[in-house]
Structure 1
Amino acid sequence: MSSDAHAHDHGSSDAHAGTRSGQLIGFGASVVLTAIPFLLVMNGSLDKQVAALIITAFAAVQVVVHMIFFLHMNPRAEGGWTMMALIFTIIMVVIALSGSLWVMHHLTTNMMPVHEMGQTP
């Protein structure tokens, strides 16, 4: 089986994803997507919430870069099963995170501080 037929069988729509230049592009993008939030935090000029949102956005983009350039994921790879596994994983992570955050918020708002109970710590 030739390499073109092998790439076609796995549904490689990105011509650079499996090559050395694709690996270097992915690495460069990862470095830039890490350096920019680091510099924003080290500069300290942004509000904490804005910085957290920017870091989260850059992290999401970096996850996509890693999936495309290093994991070679695309909608046609392996008949779409890798994409379905990814979607299932994302749904499970969202459910676990949102449930955990809800429980922590519920506990924070409903726990009575020690000083209100008339006890000293």
Structure 2
Amino acid sequence: MSAHGDVQHGHDDHHDGHGHDDLGIHATLKGYLTGFVLASVLTIIPFWLVMTGGLEKSSTTAVVVLGLAAVQIIVHMIYFLHMNTKSEGGWNMLALVFTIVLVVITLSGSIWIMYHLNDNMMPGVMPDTSSVP
């Protein structure tokens, strides 16, 4: 017999078995369906904006699409990864900050690359070679 008796302490001792996390979001079918619906809406709106040309300026469309993408990342983190500031002793908050840094680097780098590719790769005035023998 060990010094602790027959009591076993496992990884799941802090769970109450009801499938709730610290934010009150249910890790149940209802919670996953809510996340799925939000993620679907956040995908359909940018798709519709791009396909129909819903906004006149392409730069405004790009900002709206990037904003909705950032919101979708947060939806995934909350509803599917169950991340919040209270669980795991604050390590989830560190993961959230790291995710935000990566998203900012990726989005700003993508915009920078696309802008410069547009400037550098668009054909300029080509010399007229039709009159050369």
TM-score category by the smaller chain?
0.5 to 0.7
CA displacement, residues 44-70 of structure 1 (integer Å, 9 cap, x when unaligned): 132110100110111011011000000
User: Number of residues paired by the alignment?
Assistant: 107
Give, in whole Å, the separation in 2 of the partners of 1:65 and 1:93: 14
Give 1:31's aligned residue. Answer: 40
Whether the 8 Å contact between 2:84 and 2:93 is mirrored in structure 1 is yes
Query: Given the alignment of the two structures, is residue 83 of structure 1 paired with residue 100 of structure 2, yes or no?
Result: no
Identical counterparts, % of pairs: 48
Deviation for aligned residue 1:90:
2.9
Query: Given the alignment of the two structures, is residue 56 of structure 1 paired with residue 66 of structure 2, yes or no?
Result: yes
Give 2:50's aligned residue. Answer: 41
Deviation for aligned residue 1:22:
0.3
TM-score (ref. length: structure 1):
0.67
**Residue type of the partner of 1:38?**
F
Aligned with 2:15: secondary structure? helix
Aligned CA distance change for structure 1 residues 82 and 64 (closer, same or farther; 3 Å): same
Q: Which runs of 5+ in 1 are unaligned?
A: 110-114, 116-121
Pick the aligned partner of 1:21 from 30, 36, 39.
Answer: 30
Whether the 8 Å contact between 2:49 and 2:61 is mirrored in structure 1 is yes
Please identify the structure whose Cα radius of gyration is greater. Answer: 2
- Which structure dedicates a bigger proportion of its chain to helix? 1
Deviates more, 1:39-48 or 1:18-27: 39-48
RMSD over aligned CA atoms reads: 3.4
Aligned CA distance change for structure 1 residues 70 and 77 (closer, same or farther; 3 Å): same
